[in-house]
Structure 1
């Protein structure tokens, strides 16, 4: 590690690292408001406003976490579970005669209530105790399934599918993506610039796309500053299905918080304390409250940050805090937001590819620490097969089931982790030391 959590890099290094964190934050979240806007039928100006809201509150939530929350340089970003539910319930709501905006209004209330759940668990000190459930087998399963669940989108994006509305593989885009990955790997092997490999990969790829004429023109902004607003979707409304789904999601995302902090601890060569887990839980609740009152997709700590640190060997909190202030400024300046949103998505996917491989590496490292006896193979193997198998089931196959059921069984990552928890701690629970001694005396 070149710079630890509390190290202060030189000014130039801090600025470049902050810029890299900003680009990582933008590239990892820019697609979500675009997808939500498309599904919910938002106009161009509404989609732009949702984009700015997302950038501003990502910066604010992440800054609060690294400053007084868990104190790790870990991005708060749109949760895959949340925006997946946004899309699923929008489709289910349409079949029930609900307008998409009504679903959004209910989500605002649901996310706020989920935030209160996080805050309550954190203040009661329960999150620090929950982390003991996440053994290397559980956290390893989570990271492996997370990497596998992301790989389809990553490779699809790198091949140019969906870029500029293309439904087919674009050989030119795919070739450039391979070149960007090679550039990132080459820069990582240099001692002087390895911390900025992702940044240089994105900038280099963006310049090449511009030379080839593959970039879209940046849409001009109508005003210099646009302040964040409350309740993007309108006045919150109560809907039992959406609210209950939101509360269940909040409870399940406690697992994400714990596993993300475990992985971040490994990436920074530290061990998170119970106090850090609980503070992280409180401020994850705060970020959900912010999501609810602003109308953006619910935010959670992203494990991707650990992969970035592992790749760049830069764990310092200072550049990260500067970057999050910059994210808030992006959320206030429509011109800058429009410019960064013009980053071609294949470039972002290609530049981040090596960072995504680190997620898989964390999971494999956890598995290596486990003695692979029959019990471990049954627990890990069953969880992985179930989780991966569900990922291949078409989403449409779950639509006729109740929303809660389709949400649970339609998400391979979530289902795999739940199965692993049950097998590890209930079905094949290891005997405690006291029980082992008692059985020994009885014999």
Structure 2
């Protein structure tokens, strides 16, 4: 099926930025991709008790994979300015398995996860060859995407506030961290609302630079560079965690995780396409899924965290107004190349997570707005209100369950039941398309 070009190309064929503006917008995309990438390896590294040098190496590998997969997707995949970053469900799977493993078992778990991501990626590539994507696209009506986006932001809001309030750092509220985080949020917000031209598009970047400088000035850069980067250039090591190990439970869980993340692929493509005013075909989803499968295989080979297209890219585009592909391509290239220089991994490992959270607060808040917008476009019928209410209440309720409540479940089932986004999304799909199925064709699927 050929790619529709009426809106798709028009949305990205705006006057391309040149000169200084081009490079500044490219750096903006680069920093945005970095901000959505470097937190995951730092947290996972701590969960698996990896030494500082290994965490720095993990950062380097994830930069290469995320930047490289972003380029692959925009060139031959879904072809949208949609960044690839560590998937929340993969991240959660890593943390869940780290919590149940002890001592030397943690090293074995990492090797089992390498195998799991490779197998999951192969399954996704095979699924992308089947004529399923048209039906999957029709499943994601405005009601479903609205519920998904709201659940996504709600699930992350706790981590955002714990970071921005200093709780993650000190165990309690740190007034200095709060003020600095608030300052970064206000800078990004004011520039995105009141700024014009260059200033509007540079909001998140300026916020990160100022926030990083403030944290350095007040002595809050507690993650020092490891100093172990003895070579200025180095190819990331394949299977850095060791030779992959087959574990049936982890392989099944990984495959299930990859299949469930198809919903993220579809929803992210749909949200960004709507932001750009594009019309997209089933082939777009199919290529995006194939790219996601390749990314999962590469993540297993390079011993990193499985990627997924990040729907927050729509919030970034809306906040900054950057719609041209050229700065996106340059920014992704710079991120991929930075994964070849160990010293860069050392350097970015010092970025305070509080600054990243604060700078991303506005784009993520925008995502909540997108979800509300989708739901407001619906008729407030009893049927729609019931589906929305049940899905949100159950999904958010699951997020508040204590870990002890599901501790007796098998690890693969525990990882699924503990995921409020997944539970709410599956319930929403079930109610929307099975229990309260409407026979009238939804305009969103046309």
TMscore range, shorter length: over 0.9
User: How far apart are residue 291 of structure 1 and its match?
Assistant: 0.8
Q: Does 1:173 align with 2:177?
A: yes
User: How far apart are residue 211 of structure 1 and its match?
Assistant: 2.5
| Count of residue correspondences | 427
Could you say which residue in structure 2 is the equivalent of 1:86?
94
Could you say which residue in structure 1 is the equivalent of 2:365?
357
Could you say which residue in structure 2 is the equivalent of 1:138?
144
Could you say which residue in structure 1 is the equivalent of 2:393?
385
Q: 1:6 pairs with 13, 29, 50, which one?
A: 13
Q: Does 1:72 align with 2:85?
A: no
Q: Does 1:50 align with 2:58?
A: yes
Q: What is the root-mean-square deviation of aligned Cα atoms in Å?
A: 1.6
Mapped to 2, the partners of 1:46 and 1:213 lie a distance apart of 24
Mapped to 1, the partners of 2:39 and 2:359 lie a distance apart of 15
Mapped to 2, the partners of 1:248 and 1:203 lie a distance apart of 39
Aligned pair in 2 of structure 1 residues 404, 218: CA closer, same or farther (>3 Å)? closer
Contact 2:221 2:352 in 1 (8 A): yes
User: How far apart are residue 391 of structure 1 and its match?
Assistant: 0.6
* SS, match of residue 36 in structure 2: helix
Q: 2:195 pairs with 169, 190, 199, which one?
A: 190
User: How far apart are residue 98 of structure 1 and its match?
Assistant: 7.1
Q: 2:292 pairs with 252, 270, 284, which one?
A: 284
1:350-405 deviations in Å (ceiling 9; x for gaps): 11111110110110011011112111111110000000001111223222211222
User: How far apart are residue 115 of structure 1 and its match?
Assistant: 1.0
Gaps of 5+ in 1: 434-443
What TM-score does the superposition give when structure 1 sets the normalisation length?
A: 0.93
Contact 1:4 1:314 in 2 (8 A): no
User: How far apart are residue 432 of structure 1 and its match?
Assistant: 5.1
1:241-260 deviations in Å (ceiling 9; x for gaps): 10110111111111110011
Contact 1:56 1:330 in 2 (8 A): yes
What TM-score does the superposition give when structure 2 sets the normalisation length?
A: 0.92
User: How far apart are residue 410 of structure 1 and its match?
Assistant: 0.5
Mapped to 1, the partners of 2:203 and 2:316 lie a distance apart of 10
1:414-433 deviations in Å (ceiling 9; x for gaps): 10000000111111111357
Contact 1:177 1:346 in 2 (8 A): yes
Could you say which residue in structure 1 is the equivalent of 2:110?
104
Contact 2:296 2:307 in 1 (8 A): yes
* SS, match of residue 300 in structure 1: strand
User: How far apart are residue 304 of structure 1 and its match?
Assistant: 1.2
Mapped to 2, the partners of 1:304 and 1:385 lie a distance apart of 23
Please show how residues 37-436 of structure 1 align to structure 2 within 5 Å: 37-94=45-102, 99-163=105-169, 166-188=170-192, 189-192=194-197, 193-216=199-222, 217-220=224-227, 221-431=229-439
* SS, match of residue 29 in structure 1: coil
User: How far apart are residue 162 of structure 1 and its match?
Assistant: 2.0
Contact 1:5 1:72 in 2 (8 A): no
Contact 2:148 2:371 in 1 (8 A): yes
Contact 1:159 1:170 in 2 (8 A): yes
Gaps of 5+ in 2: 1-9, 442-446
Aligned pair in 2 of structure 1 residues 403, 320: CA closer, same or farther (>3 Å)? same
Contact 1:142 1:417 in 2 (8 A): yes
Contact 1:121 1:127 in 2 (8 A): no
